[in-house]
């Protein structure tokens, strides 16, 4: 019954062309989602993100963490990070997401947005360390935020709200042809945690 529900919710491709994005809606109950939110907030080794822009080191307000099944190295925004090993809860989440999505993952980037002031600009997740056209599964916990995608050539946009305890799957050629972002907003004052499960090669 549960799997039938996920198939129903995720059947539609949200993109009109050049990639596949499926939104599964809330895959966890309110209690489960609250549980994961609290545990991750308190057990993840959150750090301010760093990036190099025009040769200057910039420290973001948003916090990040990088975990995986081995001490993978991952370079993005010109900074290389070494993965910490799965915590029990991350491993549990990874397994649940793999069952629901039918995909496999070996690593996870976590983001902690303290309020709507913090977001993430247009980008695609196509760094050379990632499997080409590999699926990316995004789990959201906490404040509901808008997520947008924009086609690199046609500039078409698609947007949706990512609910507490929800799953979004981006796969196929999505990262090649589309950018995505989490726009900042004045309307939201509560924190949000996002997990993106990925495959490092
Ligand atoms: O917070 C989100 O929903 C998006 C995060 C994201 O795009 C990323 O970590 O690459
Ligand atoms: Mn991304």
Q: Which domain holds residue 133?
A: 2-198
Task: State the CATH number of the domain containing residue 78.
Answer: 2.60.120.590
pLDDT, position 53: 80
If you measure from the C-alpha of residue 124 to the centroid of ligand 2, how many angstroms do you get, rounded to a whole number? Answer: 6
Per residue in 60-106, pLDDT (tens digit) is: 889 999 999 999 988 877 778 899 999 999 999 999 999 999 999 99
Q: Please name the residue whose Cα sits nearest to atom 8 of ligand 1.
A: 196
User: Which residue ranges in the chain fall short of pLDDT 70?
Assistant: 1-10
The residue whose CB lies within 8 Å of the most ligand 1 atoms, and thus the one to mutate among 62, 163, 180, 184, is: 180
pLDDT, position 1: 47
DSSP code per residue over the chain: -HHHHHHHHH-S-S-SSSSEEEEEEE-S-HHHHHHHHHHHHHHS--EEEEEEETTEEEEEEEEEEEEESS--EEEETTEEEEPEE--HHHHHHHHHHHHHHS---SEEEEEEE-STT--EEEE----TTBPTT--EEEEEEES-EEEEEEETTT--EEEEEE-TTEEEEEETTHHHHEEEEE---SS--S-EEEEEEE-B-
pLDDT, position 8: 54
Q: Indicate the number of domains in the chain.
A: 1
pLDDT, position 79: 77
């Amino acid at each position: 019954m549960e799997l039938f529900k996920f198939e129903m919710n995720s059947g539609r491709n949200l993109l009109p062309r050049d990639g596949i994005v499926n939104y599964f809606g809330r895959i966890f109950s309110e209690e489960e989602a609250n549980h994961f939110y609290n545990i991750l907030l308190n057990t993840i080794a959150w750090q301010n993100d760093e990036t190099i822009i025009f040769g200057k080191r910039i420290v973001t307000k948003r916090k990040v963490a990088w975990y995986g099944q081995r001490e993978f190295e991952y370079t993005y925004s010109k900074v290389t990070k070494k993965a910490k090993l799965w915590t029990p809860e991350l491993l549990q989440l990874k397994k649940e997401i793999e069952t629901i999505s039918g995909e496999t993952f070996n690593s996870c980037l976590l983001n902690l947005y303290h309020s709507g002031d913090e977001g993430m600009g247009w980008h695609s997740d196509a760094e050379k360390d990632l499997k080409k056209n590999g699926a990316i599964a995004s789990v959201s916990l906490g404040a509901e935020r808008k997520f947008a995608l924009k086609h690199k050539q046609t500039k078409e946009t698609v947007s949706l709200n990512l609910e507490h305890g929800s799953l979004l799957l981006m796969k196929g050629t999505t990262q090649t042809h589309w950018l995505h972002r989490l726009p900042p907003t004045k309307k939201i004052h509560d924190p949000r945690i996002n997990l993106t499960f990925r495959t490092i090669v």
